[in-house]
Amino acid sequence: MPIKRDGEYVTFGQHLQEQQQRFPSASGQFSWLMSGITLATKMIASYVRRAGLIDVWGDEGSVNVQGEDVKKLDIIANEALKRTLGYRGNVGIIASEEDNDPRVLQDVDPEDSYIIMFDPLDGSSNIDVNVSVGTIFTIFRNPPEVIGVEKSVLQKGVEQVAGGYVLYGSSTVLVYTCGNGVHQFTLDPQFGAYLLTRENIKMPEYSRTYSVNEAYLHRFPESYQKYLEWSKDPEGGGFSSRYVGSLVADFHRILIKGGIFLYPPTEAHPGGKLRLMYECNPLAFIAEQAGGMAICGEGQRIVEIQPKAIHDRTSLVIGSRKNVEEMATFLK
Ligand code: AHM
Ligand code: MG
């Protein structure tokens, strides 16, 4: 049920305003930017909900910069986000997992503008089979001094101003953090508004559940194989397994119920498959804010990795604090 304050539901916009009152210097620009995300994700949700009724199933016919087949809904989601955010007037640079290069928007005050990066439709190969998909986003400040687009966007995750995602699941939920806790809103289709449904989410410290594409087991480094063998051994961890194949859905379950998600290096993706900037950084920000952890295969905090290129990939171990600490002992 939605959380009420003084007998009233709390919308996402109201919540942002409350947060802003804690920072008297805040100009309101950030809330205006976030309203671009809520608008775009409501549009995407409406397409996702009608998949099968309107022509949005299947491939669009092209291959993106990641070498993946582009789905029709990937394009719709990407365009919805670029259009709504492009008109916000305070977004200096937009970078999308689907596009080769970041887009610089002109006529934006560099003193008070943001960089936004997103994976418009994560897990889109699941769309044709009615399995949950999501949108992931991260926001940075746009450095006011002119240092070039490349340098401006290649910031470490610790510099994130906000990170979040929208999961188009049994209901549509938006989860975000600005570094002041993790909060969840559920889209009420009747009101057309995101209403606060979970505040200050804390991840359970430990859970015997892992989430990994185990079909690749024999292509994982030995440390991961040993960890997984121990995890499933009834005499060892005695874990159970859950894997959706949509990162947002797998992560959301861990945020609420605890456990660990792994995407190790494989032969196909020796540096890991998931994208540092669009996928791993925002989820790592949320995980840490909720009391969890996120590291790469080398044991480094995800948010401390210095990106070298906008489409960098990384291995990912994310989830409940004690699960990640336990897994890290296998990496050593
Ligand atoms: P996408 O952004 O192109 O959809 O790819 C990312 C997805 C993640 O959602 C998911 O965790 C992973 O790829 C699944 O990969 P695999 O099919 O190798 O298990
Ligand atoms: Mg993705």
Q: Which of 160, 163, 166, 159 is nearest to 177 (CA)?
A: 163
Mean residue pLDDT across the chain: 93
Distance CA(211)–CA(189), nearest Å, equals 31
Task: Report the nearest atom of ligand 1 relative to the CA of 213.
Answer: 19
Question: To the nearest whole percent, how much of the chain has pLDDT over 90?
Answer: 79
Ligand 1 centroid–CA 123 distance in Å is 5
Task: Report the nearest atom of ligand 1 relative to the CA of 279.
Answer: 2
Q: What is the mean pLDDT of residues 119-143?
A: 94
Q: Which residue has the higher pLDDT, 252 or 143?
A: 252
Which pLDDT band, with edges at 50, 70 and 90, does 148 fall under? Answer: confident
Contact, 98 vs 70, CB < 8 A? yes
In this structure, the residue with its CA closest to atom 19 of ligand 1 is: 213
Ligand 1 centroid–CA 15 distance in Å is 31
CA dist list (Å): 212 to 5, 242, 318: 39, 8, 11
Question: To the nearest whole percent, how much of the chain has pLDDT over 70?
Answer: 98
Q: What is the mean pLDDT of residues 243-272?
A: 96
Query: What local confidence, expressed as pLDDT, does residue 24 receive?
Result: 59
Distance CA(77)–CA(81), nearest Å, equals 6
Let me know if 104 is exposed, middle or buried by CB neighbors in 10 A (0-12, 13-18, 19+): middle
Query: What local confidence, expressed as pLDDT, does residue 49 receive?
Result: 92
Give residue-wise pLDDT tens across range 60-118: 887 888 787 778 899 999 999 999 998 888 899 999 999 999 998 877 776 778 999 99
Distance CA(311)–CA(195), nearest Å, equals 33
Query: What local confidence, expressed as pLDDT, does residue 18 receive?
Result: 86
Q: For residue 103, what are the β-bridge partners?
A: 94
Does 265 contact ligand 1 (Cβ within 6 A)? Answer: no
Q: Is the pLDDT of residue 25 over 70?
A: no
The enclosing H or E element of 285 equals helix 281-289
Does 122 contact ligand 1 (Cβ within 6 A)? Answer: yes
Give residue-wise pLDDT tens across range 14-23: 999 888 777 6
Considering only 20-24, 180-184, 312-316, which range has the smallest mean pLDDT? 20-24
Task: Report the nearest atom of ligand 1 relative to the CA of 134.
Answer: 9
CATH numbers and ranges of domains, the chain:
4-198 (3.30.540.10), 209-331 (3.40.190.80)
**ipTM score:** 0.95
Task: Report the nearest atom of ligand 1 relative to the CA of 124.
Answer: 4
Which pLDDT band, with edges at 50, 70 and 90, does 57 fall under? Answer: confident
Does 213 contact ligand 1 (Cβ within 6 A)? Answer: yes
Contact, 47 vs 54, CB < 8 A? yes
In this structure, the residue with its CA closest to atom 4 of ligand 1 is: 123
Give residue-wise pLDDT tens across range 188-234: 999 999 999 999 999 999 999 999 999 999 999 999 999 999 999 99
Q: Is the pLDDT of residue 301 over 70?
A: yes
Using most ligand atoms within 8 A of CB, pick from 73, 118, 273 the residue to mutate for ligand 1. Answer: 273
Using most ligand atoms within 8 A of CB, pick from 44, 122, 210 the residue to mutate for ligand 1. Answer: 122
Ligand 1 centroid–CA 70 distance in Å is 13
Ligand nearest to the CA of 279: 2
Using most ligand atoms within 8 A of CB, pick from 72, 99, 213 the residue to mutate for ligand 1. Answer: 213
Which residues are annotated binding-site positions for substrate?
Answer: 122-125, 213, 243, 273
Does 63 contact ligand 1 (Cβ within 6 A)? Answer: no
Question: pTM here?
Answer: 0.95
Ligand 1 centroid–CA 213 distance in Å is 10
Q: Is the pLDDT of residue 146 over 80?
A: no
